[in-house]
Amino acid sequence: MPKLKLQSARKTQAALTQVTDQLYEELRQSSLKHWLDDEKVAKTLDEKVHAWAYQAKSSLDQQHPYLDAQIHLENWLDKVSVSAAEFQLMNQQFQDFQLALGTPALGELWQFQHNVAEPLPPKTLHLQFQLLKEKWQRKLTEAIAAWEFEQLALQRDAFLDEIKDFLAALQKMAKHKDAFGADTGIFIDYSKGQLTEHDVQQFEEWSRYLAQDQELMKLCKMMGSAVPSKYKRKRNSRIVQDAQQQPDQQAMEEITGIRLAQDLNLALPSELALLADPDLQILFDLKYLESNILGFHLQGEQTGRMIDDPRHAPRRRGEKGPMILCLDTSGSMHGQPELIAKAISLYLGMQAMKAKRPMHIINFSTNLTVLDLQRGYALDELIHFLSQSFHGGTDIVPAMQHAVDMLHQPNFAQADVLVISDFIMGALPAELMEQIEGHQQRGAGFYAAAIGNFRIAHLGDALFDHQWIYQAATGRVTQLN
């Protein structure tokens, strides 16, 4: 690395260190300073600061206003000596750089020495060339460092506002952690994205509703801990597939490939040839001891039948599996019913985060949108999703069909399917009911919470393992058999 670039990098790093120290000092002087004592929050802040510093440094590279002067100087730094004409050109470029800085050019003595008609002696010329390079390098390094520090200070102020907004939002949300039985770590998860002020207000509204309504909180806990019905279900008979040919590692009937092993009787001729050379025998011995002798891989086949037993490895009673939540945001849910439904959904979502429980949410009306939280939990994604509403007609069939399709995926087999709606809708098709019953026999649970004074028996008595009715007018929860 050229000396000039090395000095610039050191100056930039020093400026970054100074700016980040100032940033932390301002946080310590703010009303949010207590968050710096929280281990998880402090770790998150460090990660954010380091990411910001890296991005800030990258944005400053090759962007300073003295790039032309730097290129000129680097060309002169590569030279060991110059002619008088080259020195005059170098002198002119340096004076242009000085003017760009708004500082005086060379002193009178320097100007006089360079304007005399007689050429400078070679030694004097070489000395002046070295002095000018050092002077130019020092001035340029200082100018770049001053510009970078100014830019970093501006970026620091913007980043500090962002951090304060993050901590302020965290403080508002953390006030409601007791309602969810959660710690601050869950709220930090939303750092994957960016919550708006409206998102925080929505979160506070749903949280306050939960905290003020003990019956609603009771319903949330019942839905979150529900298990499949205690009543016996019909067991499917074993499904036996047609006879199939399956590999048998013990029956060595034909060559299927090459493998590393210690089987001398299956060793390749090229490996056995090592024994013919005294110098290579030790290599063969080492390969034998390490089971690295190349040999033929043999196997056979046997005829068998695959038996699929739905009772195999069922979910234990009380064990919490994945969750599929169907949330009704149709027009009939508008107002308080939708607020209640989303408060329940927020609670269930945060409990899933806490337990690292895979969760798939379906927001439905006549259309549907989905949110899959099984690959990573981010509270901001959950709040953004719950903020959506359709306010159209109600059609539960696509949502239930999508939930049934999800049960075929390995990560959501034997999942709990929860439906929150006012259930002002028609019955489900017979084919879909049969699919649901089949999944119930394999261990999946289906539960429903009706918001309002409505019964949901018209959907079929065998559809849901547990049914609850939350009467918004009285704040009472009724559980139906």
* Stated length of the chain: 481
Q: How does strand 239-240 pair with strand 254-261?
A: unpaired
204 lies in a domain? no
Q: Give Cβ neighbours of residue 415 (< 8 Å, ≥ 6 apart).
A: 321, 322, 323, 324, 358, 360, 406, 407, 444, 445
- Same-domain status, 139 and 248: no
- Same-domain status, 131 and 9: yes
82 lies in a domain? yes
Candidates 406, 407, 411; CA nearest to 439 is 407
Q: Give residue 90's pLDDT.
A: 92
Query: Do residues 95 and 111 lie in contact, with contact meaning Cβ atoms separated by under 8 Å?
Result: no
- Same-domain status, 225 and 251: no
Q: Give residue 131's pLDDT.
A: 92
Q: Give residue 45's pLDDT.
A: 86
Distance CA 282, CA 278 (A): 8
In the block, which residue shows the tokens 């001035």? 139
- Same-domain status, 220 and 268: no
Angle at 277 between CA 275 and CA 282, to 5 degrees: 65
- Same-domain status, 323 and 441: yes
Q: Give Cβ neighbours of residue 323 (< 8 Å, ≥ 6 apart).
A: 348, 352, 357, 358, 359, 360, 415, 416, 418
Amino acid at position 471, single letter = Q
- Same-domain status, 249 and 364: no
Distance CA 98, CA 103 (A): 6
**pLDDT tens digits in sequence order for the chain, 481 residues long:** 355 554 566 667 777 788 888 888 888 888 888 888 888 888 888 888 888 888 887 777 657 788 889 889 999 999 999 998 899 899 889 988 988 888 765 554 454 455 545 667 888 889 999 999 999 998 988 888 888 888 888 888 888 888 888 888 888 888 887 777 766 666 776 555 567 788 888 888 998 888 888 888 889 988 888 877 644 444 444 444 444 555 555 556 677 778 777 788 888 888 888 888 877 788 888 788 777 788 877 776 655 554 444 434 455 555 578 999 999 999 889 899 999 999 999 999 988 888 888 899 999 988 899 998 866 667 888 888 999 888 888 888 999 999 999 999 988 988 999 999 988 877 888 899 999 989 988 888 999 998 986 666 555 556 888 888 888 778 788 876 5
Amino acid at position 225, single letter = S
Q: How does strand 307-308 pair with strand 323-328?
A: unpaired
Write out 205-229 in H/E/C secondary structure. Answer: HHHHHHHHCHHHHHHHHHHHHCCCC
Distance CA 460, CA 138 (A): 84
The tokens for 359 are 């969760």
Q: Give residue 307's pLDDT.
A: 46
| Residue 460, burial from CB neighbour count under 10 angstroms (0-12, 13-18, 19+) | middle
The tokens for 20 are 């980040």
- Same-domain status, 280 and 387: no
Q: Give residue 308's pLDDT.
A: 46
> Of 305, 329, 347, which residue constitutes the final position of a domain?
305
> Of 283, 305, 327, which residue constitutes the final position of a domain?
305
The tokens for 178 are 């007791």
Model pTM score = 0.63
Q: Give residue 306's pLDDT.
A: 46
Quick one: DSSP state of residue 267?
Answer: B
- Same-domain status, 366 and 461: yes
> Of 272, 305, 338, which residue constitutes the final position of a domain?
305
94 lies in a domain? yes
17 lies in a domain? yes
Cα→Cα distances 5→10, 11, 12, 61, 80, Å: 9, 10, 10, 11, 18
CATH number at residue 363: 3.40.50.410
Distance CA 106, CA 95 (A): 7
11 lies in a domain? yes
Q: Give Cβ neighbours of residue 352 (< 8 Å, ≥ 6 apart).
A: 323, 358, 359, 373, 377
366 lies in a domain? yes
337 lies in a domain? yes
Amino acid at position 191, single letter = S
334 lies in a domain? yes
Beta bridge partners of 245: 303
Quick one: DSSP state of residue 30?
Answer: S
- Same-domain status, 450 and 409: yes
- Same-domain status, 264 and 343: no
Distance CA 188, CA 174 (A): 10
Distance CA 468, CA 216 (A): 11
Distance CA 201, CA 173 (A): 9
Range of the domain at 144: 1-174
Alpha helices in 175-277 (DSSP H): 177-180, 184-188, 197-212, 214-225, 269-272
What is the domain count for the chain? 3
Distance CA 476, CA 96 (A): 82
- Same-domain status, 122 and 261: no
The tokens for 45 are 């802040």
Query: Do residues 454 and 424 lie in contact, with contact meaning Cβ atoms separated by under 8 Å?
Result: yes
Q: Give Cβ neighbours of residue 379 (< 8 Å, ≥ 6 apart).
A: 186, 187, 189, 190, 195, 350, 353
Go through 405-442 and write b for each residue having 16 or more CB atoms within 10 A of its CB, e for each that does not.
ebbeeeebbbbbbbbbbbbbbeebeeebbebbbebbeb
Candidates 419, 405, 389, 407; CA nearest to 326 is 419
Q: Give residue 240's pLDDT.
A: 44
SS3 40: helix
The tokens for 309 are 């037993």
The tokens for 340 are 């209640």
- Same-domain status, 292 and 359: no
